[in-house]
Structure 1
Amino acid sequence: MRIIGGKLKGTRFYPPKNLPVRPTTDMAKEALFNILQNQIEFDGLKVLDLFSGTGNISLEFASRFAATVTSVDKAFGCYQYLRKTTEEHQLKNLKAIKADVFKYLNQETEQFDLIFADPPYGLKTIPEIAQIVFDKNLLTENGLLIIEHQSMQNLSNHPNFSDKRIYGYSAFSFFENNKGFKV
């Protein structure tokens, strides 16, 4: 896993092999951040990373000077690895939380500029993520929700869906709180 932009650009991380994760590929992550860097200002962004795993996406946002990055994962090993990595690299803008994502979302009241979710591909409740985020009003006015999922899965039936980008076996579905974001 490597960071592709910001103050940690080029840094490689080597998470333990025994973590229950399927990290976003470097190719897909690079494509995602190319889309985002042309549409949003990372500096000052308030980010929520759900099913954060090793923190691949969280670390990328923190490296690019997001104001705050909140990373949520229920696996203790993932939580512990991300906390240790955050401390080693003095990323004061990144906070790891060990919690079940759905319980966390149902209790959360803060709003975020960008929410990224990378649930296990076999999870049957993936479509519920967008529903909860919008029902609970967890995005700021022009906020963006991005869900990574299997490329064959279709999440376009949600009213806030705006686009889907496919990268091999993976896809990113974009949901807008306001139709100002163009993928």
Structure 2
Amino acid sequence: MRIISGKYKGRRIFPPKGLPVRPTTDMSKEALFNVLNNHFSFEGLKVLDLFAGTGNISYEFASRGSSPITAVDGDFGCVKFIKQIATEYDFNIAATKSDVFAFLEKIKTSYDIIFADPPYALDQKTFEKIVLLIFEKELLNQEGMMVIEHSKYTKLDHMIHFSFQKSYGGSIFSFFEIEKNNEDEVNDSLHKNENKEE
């Protein structure tokens, strides 16, 4: 895995074998950051990286000057490796070992960019729960963007604040933006989801 842009462009990072991860490919990552580059100047962006795995996405943001970055993963080995790389490269990344949903329930901070790369095998409702939790708890800043990476079998284009999606190989990135919805649409979408759960 390599960092594709910023201060450490071209630097290769070698995670230990045996981590329970499916890293975002360099091709997909480059395409993702090309999209984000059209919306943001990365310097000083506050980033939340959920299901962070090897920290691949966190390092990319850090190399481009984003700070602070919070990386959350439930695996001890992944969190240990992210802390190691953050120290080695002097990245402002706080790696937290936690169940992602437990983490989202307890935090009160908001972010400019939230990236989530859950295991593709998670069911549809679990992916939807990520979206709902983040917007119900107002964890995304008003002009921020949330990105969820998923397979073609997961559909998120019906969810609150969905903006657009991009497909790269077997991966899809769904993008969410608060400013794309007016207040009536937001309330209507939340109301529909509440009714479904009942």
Question: Normalised by the size of structure 1, how large is the TM-score?
Answer: 0.95
Q: Residue in 2 aligned with 1:82? A: 82
Displacement of 1:151 after TM fit? 2.2
Q: Residue in 2 aligned with 1:135? A: 136
* Residues 43-54 of structure 1: pairs in structure 2 closer than 5 A: 43-54=43-54
| SS of structure 1 residue aligned to 2:180 | coil
* Residues 7-22 of structure 1: pairs in structure 2 closer than 5 A: 7-22=7-22
Q: In the TM superposition, what whole-angstrom CA distance separates every residue of 1:54-97 from its partner, at most 9, and x where no partner exists? A: 00000000110002110000100000001011111111x21111
The aligned length equals 179
Q: Residue in 2 aligned with 1:2? A: 2
Decide whether the 8 Å contact of 1:147 with 1:172 is kept in 2. yes
- Distance in 2 between residues matched to 1:48 and 1:133, nearest whole Å: 11
Letter in 1 for 2:128: P
Q: Residue in 1 aligned with 2:105? A: 106
State the identity %.
Answer: 53
Q: Residue in 1 aligned with 2:55? A: 55
Deviation >4 Å, runs of 4+: none
Gaps of 5+ in 1: none
- Distance in 1 between residues matched to 2:180 and 2:158, nearest whole Å: 16
Gaps of 5+ in 2: 182-198
Question: Whose Rg is larger?
Answer: 2
Displacement of 1:26 after TM fit? 0.4
Q: Residue in 2 aligned with 1:65? A: 65
- Distance in 1 between residues matched to 2:178 and 2:35, nearest whole Å: 17
Q: Residue in 2 aligned with 1:119? A: 118
Decide whether the 8 Å contact of 1:141 with 1:178 is kept in 2. yes
Displacement of 1:179 after TM fit? 2.2
Q: What's the Cα RMSD here?
A: 1.0
- Distance in 2 between residues matched to 1:54 and 1:108, nearest whole Å: 22
* Structure with the bigger percentage of helix: 2
Displacement of 1:39 after TM fit? 1.3
* Structure with the bigger percentage of strand: 1
Q: Residue in 1 aligned with 2:93? A: 94
